[in-house]
Amino acid sequence: MTARRIIPCLDVRDGRVVKGVRFLDHVDMGDAAELAARYRDEGADELVFYDITASPEGRTLDYGWVREIARLLDIPFCVAGGIRSVEQAGRCLDNGADKVSVNSPALERPDLIGELADRFGSQCVVVGVDSRREDDDWVVHKYTGDPDSRRLAGRSTMDWIGEAQARGAGEIVLNCIDQDGVRQGYDTAQLAQARSRLTIPLVASGGAGAESHFLDVFDRANVSGALAASVFHTGAIRIGDLKAFLAGSGVEVRQ
């Protein structure tokens, strides 16, 4: 496998980065551009920006904002937020994004995944999946950026990620809701099962609280990348220190 990726995630609302716990009770974490520049300088492999209220509000993200972020960065970045068409995705890419991520809009209209892959190539198409345990299965939720809009999507997580891959997704980001923001470690059981269903890259999201949690998810779930937010925003973990720890533990990372 190629070097594992460390990916800060920036949930953006009204131009500010926010962070919640299990997708609820969001608090302000700082300016999006300032945090992006900091992570660039610390050695992040790529960044992900989620406009968390775009889909619930029935809009897409601000292309001018994407362009401003692109001017700051010399590392890849992915954007998400209400992208419902090839035209909208193309404008994100034209303004400097390297990838687009679709979540609720793909659940509404799964053909969107194939349309994006056909037009831009699978390498540009990420499918985000917000998942939690319900009874004896992991199931998908949608519109998770707004607590009042969030609801079940009527999909089994494992079935949906398999379908997304078959439709042309180039990468899956699996957001484990029960672990989100609690800093108790990634859901390695769910992620390992997802990894066994996929041949495309899988990125873990939700639960990072210590450097050892990154090592654990790479070892136990064999994910391609690990995404985290609050531990980076607060400075609890510095990316350079994390990469040194992982390299010292035998994990291949980009220095």
Residues assigned a catalytic role: 11, 130
Instruction: Provide the residue type at 165 as one letter.
Output: Q
Which ranges in 121-210 belong to alpha helices (H)?
157-167, 188-197
Read off the tokens for 255.
């220095």
**Cβ(237)–Cβ(41) under 8 Å?**
no
Closest by CA position to 52, among listed 78, 16, 81: 81
Region of 146 on the Ramachandran plot (φ > 0 left; ψ -120 to 50 alpha; else beta): beta
Query: What is d(CA 87, CA 81) in angstroms, rounded to the nearest whole number?
Result: 14
Rg of the chain's alpha carbons, rounded to an integer? 16
Instruction: Provide the residue type at 240 as one letter.
Output: G
